[in-house]
Structure 1
Amino acid sequence: MKKLIINADDFGLADGCNRGIIDAMKNGIVTSTTVMINMPKAVEAIDLAKKVGIKEMGVHLTLTCGKPLLSKEEVPSLVDENGRFYRRVAKLLPLVNLEEVEKELRAQIDEFLKTGLKLTHLDSHHHVHMYDGIKEIVSKLAKEYCVSVRHPDEKTKEYLSKLGIRTTDFFSMNFYGKDATLENLKRIIKQFPEGTIEIMTHPAYVDEKLKNISSYNVNRAKELEILTSVEIKEWIEKEGIKLINFTGLEV
């Protein structure tokens, strides 16, 4: 049997993301989400989740959006002159102090745990945990907190597997941009053999605030429409695919 995790990234990024992700989880096929706990809208996101009975989620570890939870004095290599994360991985990596990375990422996980929700897994904004140095830190934290980790590529998957860290058999980031179509979503699911599959998504209601925050915006609304459509729900049921979240990897 195919077991499918549809994860919505960027919970907490903006009001439109928060509302869109909640709707996609309650009325669509999204089974999991990861929160950007450092973002100003994260508190509202968690409150919305609790109100609709969502009791668990992952953390979208963030080093390239917004501000760190720790002061700029504590993590000077991670921030620009304004105390904000660098927005591009290529800018961050040559400057990064790995001890500061571990302190900040641990702070993000601990801040999430204060919400009382169960931590299911870790992934990261712009997949920063696939890069050498950061990958080892995130793996260390995953083992410490006993959670699963997304694998953005086969190299990361192999590394996680050797350490005994749970991850899915397959992962796709191809439901994105111009490829965020109903037919492509079906194609992605059908191309994988039996096993566990994670598909990364970004559903949202798009407004001017979201457009100002993220260059990936208009297509988020298209994703939301597809992920909550009757057609995709009926197709998944017809294909005999089991929808799970990352807790399902423990079984």
Structure 2
Amino acid sequence: MKRVQICADDYGFDAAVSQGILDGIDAGRLSATSCMVLSPAWAQWAPALRERAGAADVGLHLDVNEFAGYARRSLSGWIAAAYLGAIARRDADAWVASQLDAFEATLGRAPDYLDGHQHVHQLPVLREAVVAALARRYGRGCALRNTRARRWRGPKAAVIAALGAGRLQGLAQAQGLAMNRDFAGVYDFGPEARFGELVAAWLAGLPDGGLLMTHPGRAGGTETRADPIRAARVREHAFWLSTEAGELLARQGVQLGLCADWR
């Protein structure tokens, strides 16, 4: 048996995404979810996580490019700004602190871990602000997502890791912050993707203490903002609630893991 954290990103994005993630937690197929505390839907959906305390890890999904008032850049614009030195450290410190404050104020506790919407937490300046804030506020009590895969999982996954995983890992290790031992779940969200087959391959390759990222959600419109991956979310949601998913986990000897497994 091995323990793998299966983490649903984007909780709080809207009602369809949030309810879809709760479905997966309640079915025993998800063991973590990452929260978008700047979304206008967050306050409505946060109580459901308090009601499920202990059922899954709950983390902060650091957001600078979706619901943030400072989200005036595209993802590529944020990447460029980070690497060109166009993000002020004092601004990054304030953004991280305000989102951690919002998480704590709503859920009444610290996050179990922190990651980033579209992995922005590993970009220059943002990563330094993140690690400093976690160490200062929680000591070693809050884990951190590592996007580095230990084996080849495609060019998109390699690009994501190259944008800062190595440097973030070094900073985290210096502060004694726990990180997942491997990372999977990256694909193009296209309709041709056979999600069940992808999950089977990812789980087969992940070690104990690994992390599988997923983006399930229910069908339906959104009350917040356009969701370009809605169709993929619906397919992922259907898979995780299927008999196929349960049989796959059992066949591969996978137990749902938590951040505590990374320490």
Q: TM-score range, shorter-chain basis?
A: 0.7 to 0.9
Alignment gaps of 5+ in structure 2: 148-160
Identity %: 20
Contact 1:24 1:224 in 2 (8 A): yes
Q: Does 1:2 find its partner at 2:7? A: no
> Which digits, 9 at most, give the CA deviation of each residue in 1:26-54, with x for residues without a partner?
11411100110011010112122234455
> Which digits, 9 at most, give the CA deviation of each residue in 1:148-194, with x for residues without a partner?
000123513344234321001101132551346111101011123x3
Contact 1:176 1:201 in 2 (8 A): no
Aligned to 1:191: 205
What pairs up with 1:13-162 in 2 under 5 angstroms? Answer: 13-53=13-53, 56-68=57-69, 79=70, 85-92=71-78, 93-94=80-81, 95-114=86-105, 115-144=107-136, 145=138, 146-152=141-147, 153=161, 154-155=165-166, 156-162=168-174
Aligned to 1:246: 259
Distance in 1, matches of 2:120 and 2:194, equals 23
Amino acid at match of 1:20: G
2:179 to 129, 150, 167: 167
Q: Does 1:206 find its partner at 2:219? A: yes
Contact 2:16 2:221 in 1 (8 A): no
* Shift in CA distance, 212/99, structure 1 to aligned 2, threshold 3 Å: closer
Contact 1:175 1:201 in 2 (8 A): no
1:181 to 171, 195, 210: 195
Distance in 2, matches of 1:88 and 1:180, equals 28
TM-score, normalising length from structure 1? 0.85
TM-score, normalising length from structure 2? 0.81
Distance in 2, matches of 1:157 and 1:173, equals 19
Aligned to 1:235: 248
Aligned to 1:76: none
Contact 2:209 2:261 in 1 (8 A): no
Contact 2:185 2:202 in 1 (8 A): no
Alignment gaps of 5+ in structure 1: 69-78, 80-84
Please, what is the CA RMSD of the aligned residues? 2.2
Amino acid at match of 2:112: T
